[in-house]
Amino acid sequence: MSANLINMLLEATLQTLYMVAISGALGTIFGLPIGVYLAVSQRGELLSSPAVNKVLGLVVNATRSVPFIILVVAIIPFTRLIAGTSIGTTAAIVPLTIAAVPFIARLVENAIREVDSGLIEAARAMGATPLQIIRKVLIPEALPGITLGLTLAVVSLIGYSAMVGAVGGEGLGDLGIRYGYQRFMPEVMLAVVVILIVLVQQVQSLGEGLARLVDKRAPRNRGR
């Protein structure tokens, strides 16, 4: 493998990491509160608002239902408005973020719903307000599940980031398509696939480790 190809692989890997990191962070910033609200705003819940919950749920489901490659093309005018262009690494962050927000929201919602209702009732009995219950009971108890959900979201974003290479995005997907497929260089395609597999494995291992770290129910090895 030539030095030039190694440099291209390195640059493409850094571009992919940049896209995934920024879109993952933005997706979490917007998706986390949406997911929490979806979990606590159904009828009879802490912040009961069935009508708003239904509308927000429909929007989340509609966005999740659109295949990512179609979403990228459909929002090109919006991407141009936000990023000033529809091609390149920065432009790819826009559809990646839009795809990540509803996905993360549903994962967070599911994690919140798995919290033992007895803990909520106990907090209510002690006079805690709904916001205090959300901050001090629901989120801390759901943190392991939220961490695993965010890990899954980042893994999905790595796959999506490769997909944007087909429509003018940069990164590993673009390199694999332009050189591995269009120029018939199977060694480039193989290298891209291997790097993507390594990235996914590293993210998965890190996420599982963090989930164990924040899980208060997990046994700890204590030295004597």
Name which residue leads in pLDDT, 194 or 116: 194
Average pLDDT of span 109-133: 88
- Please indicate, yes or no, whether the overall pTM of this predicted structure exceeds 0.95: no
Query: Whose CA is closest to 160, among 69, 45, 30?
Result: 69
Q: In which region does residue 84 sit, left (phi positive, over 0), alpha (psi from -120 to 50) or beta (all else)? A: left
pLDDT in tens, 166-187: 777 788 888 888 887 777 788 8
In the predicted structure, residue 208 carries a pLDDT above the cut 90: yes
Q: What is the pLDDT of residue 46?
A: 83
Fill in the DSSP letter of residue 86: S
Average pLDDT of span 198-206: 95
Q: Identify the band that residue 222 occupies on the pLDDT scale cut at 50, 70 and 90.
A: very low
List domains and CATH numbers for the chain.
3-214 (1.10.3720.10)
